[in-house]
Amino acid sequence: MLPNTGKLAGCTVFITGASRGIGKAIALKAAKDGANIVIAAKTTQAHPRLPGTIYTAAEEIEAAGGKALPCIVDVRDEQQISNAVEKAVEKFGGIDILVNNASAISLTNTLETPTKRVDLMMNVNTRGTYLTSKACIPYLKKSKVAHILNLSPPLNLNPLWFKQHCAYTIAKYGMSMCVLGMAEEFKGEIAVNALWPKTAIHTAAVEMMGGSDIENHCRKVDIIADAAYSIFKKPKSFTGNFIVDENILKEEGIKNFDVYAIKPGHSLVPDIFLDEYPDPVTKKTESHGAVPELKGEKPQTPAEQRSGAVEETFRIVKDSLTDDIVKATQAVFQFELSGEDGGTWFLDLKSKSGNVGYGEPSDHADVVMSMSTDDFVKMFSGKLKPTMAFMSGKLKIKGNMALAIKLEKLMNQLQAKL
């Protein structure tokens, strides 16, 4: 862990989306130095599955040694942003650091992304970042510290990161383009940088998307907080950078990254937008539509592929079905499998005692999952976690994500038999 130095004592840090998760972690790290934290977020009452409000965050910040100003801010509302900036300047005398952390996400393809969700992502991610930066810049220009930090990825133009969630990528890259433009526009006055995690970070929002199992394959929010703190210590001349958390902490002398793991020793889910080996990945994308493999997983040779394994898996699943499983699940799953023994298969956990088979289901599928036959067998046998397959692009899901998570729980029950 990166130690605090007291560098941010008395500094005012304006953070969007600071009521929980990464935003709150950055706030608490700065608070330990005695910083003033403006919590610009919209949560005033706890969400059933997303704990934390601007008021509970304020209590934690003050307990950590900082001063807190909770402000109700939906970054889509320019007036709410302006009001919060005015309150911050009135209470603390200025703004030294802005962290654009607020973000909306939907990892869905073009036809599966409703216009309302597209608008949300564009307005929160790109427009919200732009407007919040615009409101804070006049005060940042007066600061000796003067940093803007956007939680956004490097501008990676590998088509892989566009084809599966085009709208989200456009909205998130909009935040990164703000870095590119504003760093140049305010060079010498304000440092403007982007920060992105190398691996999945465990937050309540990530758990909602990926299920509880993903926790074991994530790092803690502390790694982002430490990386952000490292950036804030740098001079204004450190600008226009797209920083990966692990890389900057290595420069700080951090060698043991197990301290940031939720479960040290477990494999880590790589975050999206990062190509560890760009050239081979690009070639794979062009020729096979493939995606980077998870670290530590060996590519299969043809000799290892098992003929009829999919059919055998479905047979075991069918023999294991009970009325209770069908009653508890109430969903129809369709599998589009590529490769040997592939094609369209279904798992009906809605009608009577359940059914499986080759071809399309008689009822409309609630969830459609697309993957290779080999990954399908690995998932049902427990060798590949569905959350890891989904986040790495090996598994594509259309339909009801909550029902997809129910299927993952069923897989866990069946693994002893597979």
Residues with a known catalytic role: 168
CB-CB contact of 227 with 249 (8 Å): yes
CB-CB contact of 238 with 194 (8 Å): no
Residue 16, class by beta-carbon neighbours within 10 Å (0-12 exposed, 13-18 middle, 19+ buried)?
buried
Residue 3 carries which side chain, given as an amino acid letter? P
CA distance 415 to 332: 20
CB-CB contact of 41 with 48 (8 Å): no
Tokens representing 326 are 């069908």
Can you name the residues that pair with 368 across neighbouring β-strands? 334, 398
CB-CB contact of 193 with 147 (8 Å): yes
Q: 322-337 b/e with 16+ CB inside 10 Å = b?
A: eeebbeebebbbbbeb
Residue 370 carries which side chain, given as an amino acid letter? S
CB-CB contact of 124 with 150 (8 Å): no
319: CB partners within 8 A, 6+ apart: none
Tokens representing 175 are 């935040």
Q: What are the helix and strand counts (H, E) for the chain?
A: 16, 12
Which ranges of 158-211 would DSSP assign to H, the alpha helix? 160-163, 166-185, 204-210
HEC profile of 92-131: HCCCCEEEECCCCCCCCCHHHCCHHHHHHHHHHHHHHHHH
